[in-house]
Amino acid sequence: MHAMTIWYEPNHPEWYDAGIADSLRMIRDAGFTHVHWNPDAGSSYVYAPSEIEHIAELFENAELKAKSLHAAHGLHYVSEKKSPHIDRRKDFTSNVEWRRRAGVDLLINRIELAHRLGTDSVVLHVTLPPDFDQMGPREAFLAQVCRSFDDVRPFAEEKGVTIAVENLMDRADLITALFDHLFERYPADFVGWCFDVGHAHVVDNRSLSFLRPFVPRLVVTHLHDNFGATDDHLLPGDATIRWDEVADMIAASPATLPLVYETPPERYSLSRPAFYAAAFRSHVELTAKVEDRRA
């Protein structure tokens, strides 16, 4: 089993329809069996029931399965007039109650999509505020996050969907504080961890050691490579991440295969079929590393 991320196709006039279908077909033809759904992850867009059915039909027509999908955290730039301001109308971490509830509704919407696509995990960004390193603001922020998770929990458990919180580009000690709080409060079948290897490599000076305590919570992977300075999203093996170490961590976790690659085609000057073929070769090699260690 092998999983690749599906991205936006803004270069196609109907990227949400024919454009996505073309990419899914190329992903399948390269050899991948599963897809991580990423469109609209960085928005507050809500899928209508008819759209959820349409996305499921795209998967079925491509003969692909969903490994996971990226939930939306609701924070994005107000784009209609190219404003520099952030749209915070659907923010599950907000201390403005209607915004927090709207953020909960947005997360429930993505859990609905995950359930329809037959996957049991959604990946979620928890965007930490600038003052999260101060105890008072940290406690207030975590209280709001947990209020929202408590609201979502009955629906997520009914649908059998785990929320996999992704390690972002925050300081290692702040990521640790967030994970410690969430993983102590919630069971693993409700809140797990999405291991974004590229983020970790940049954040902790190319070391992944600060995340080792959370290996028992690992449920989904976002695998891509970089040189330790910026989040390049290259194919694994094309930069300086130590993939033997990554394979060791994944093999020791309860995460089920397939692994998820999170590299967009535009990172390479290749045709998209050639890119997906190269990604598949890399994926086969890394999957074998994990399977060998588990064996």
pTM of the model: 0.93
Q: Which of 205, 200, 116 is nearest to 166 (CA)?
A: 200
**Residue with token string 């993505």:** 110
Task: Please list the pLDDT of the chain residue by residue as tens digits (295 residues).
Answer: 999 999 877 777 888 888 999 999 999 999 999 999 999 988 889 999 999 999 999 999 999 999 999 998 766 666 666 667 777 789 999 999 999 999 999 999 999 999 999 999 999 999 999 999 999 999 999 999 999 999 999 999 999 999 999 999 999 999 999 999 999 999 999 999 999 999 999 998 778 999 999 999 999 999 999 999 999 999 999 999 999 999 999 999 999 999 999 999 989 999 999 999 999 999 999 999 999 999 9
The pLDDT, as a whole number, for residue 128 is 95
Q: How far apart are CA 163 and CA 159, in angstroms?
A: 12
In the chain, the N- to C-terminal Cα span, in Å, equals 16
The pLDDT, as a whole number, for residue 82 is 65
Measured in whole angstroms, the distance separating CA 142 from the mean position of its chain's CA atoms is 20
The pLDDT, as a whole number, for residue 77 is 61
Who's near 149: CB < 8 A, 6+ residues apart?
163, 182, 186, 190, 191
The pLDDT, as a whole number, for residue 286 is 98
Task: Provide the domain count of the chain.
Answer: 1
Residue-number span of the structural domain to which 201 is assigned: 3-294
CATH number of residue 212's parent domain: 3.20.20.150
Who's near 90: CB < 8 A, 6+ residues apart?
44, 72, 74, 99, 102, 103, 105, 106
The pLDDT, as a whole number, for residue 79 is 63
**89 φ, ψ (degrees, to nearest 5):** -75, -20
The pLDDT, as a whole number, for residue 81 is 62
The pLDDT, as a whole number, for residue 171 is 93
Q: How far apart are CA 159 and CA 153, in angstroms?
A: 10
Q: How far apart are CA 98 and CA 108, in angstroms?
A: 15
The pLDDT, as a whole number, for residue 78 is 62
CA atoms within 13 A on the CB side of 275: 19
The pLDDT, as a whole number, for residue 75 is 65
The pLDDT, as a whole number, for residue 262 is 95
Is the link from the previous residue into 258 a cis peptide, with omega within 30 of 0?
yes
Token pair in block for residue 37: 């759904």
